[in-house]
């Protein structure tokens, strides 16, 4: 139940109540993310990082101390 609920977007706090568990640790013990959900989360994170990096000004490359490029 916990895995199905978490993988379909049910909030962790709701799953905790549904399972009658006293702590989030128990939810984490019984709820396992499906590989597809992990891929989606990784893609979201990658997109956020790309957006953040795109907003920052690029740093100028420093010349090497020994004179090589």
pLDDT digits (tens, 9 = 90+) for 36-68: 888 888 888 888 887 665 565 666 666 666 665
Give dist(CA 3, CA 28) in Å, integer. Answer: 9
> Quick check: is 22 in a domain?
yes
Residue 38 in any domain: the answer is: yes
Q: DSSP letter for 20, please.
A: T
Residue 11 lies in a domain: yes
Q: How many domains does the chain have?
A: 1
pLDDT of residue 47: 86
**What was the pLDDT predicted at 17?**
96
Say yes or no to pLDDT of 69 above 60: no
* Domain membership flag for residue 67: no
User: pTM for this one?
Assistant: 0.52
d(CA 37, CA 20): 24
User: What is the domain range of residue 41?
Assistant: 2-55
Q: How confident is the model at residue 19 (pLDDT cuts 50, 70, 90)?
A: very high
> Does residue 63 lie within any of the structural domains?
no
What average pLDDT does range 19-47 have in this prediction? 87
Residue 39 lies in a domain: yes
Residue 12 resides in a domain: yes
């Amino acid at each position: 139940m916990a895995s199905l609920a978490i993988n379909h977007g049910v909030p962790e706090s709701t799953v905790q109540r549904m399972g009658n568990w006293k702590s989030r640790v128990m939810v984490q013990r019984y709820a396992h993310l499906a590989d597809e959900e992990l891929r989606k989360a990784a893609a979201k994170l990658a997109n956020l990082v790309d957006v953040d990096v795109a907003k920052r000004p690029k740093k100028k490359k420093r010349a090497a101390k020994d004179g090589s490029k």
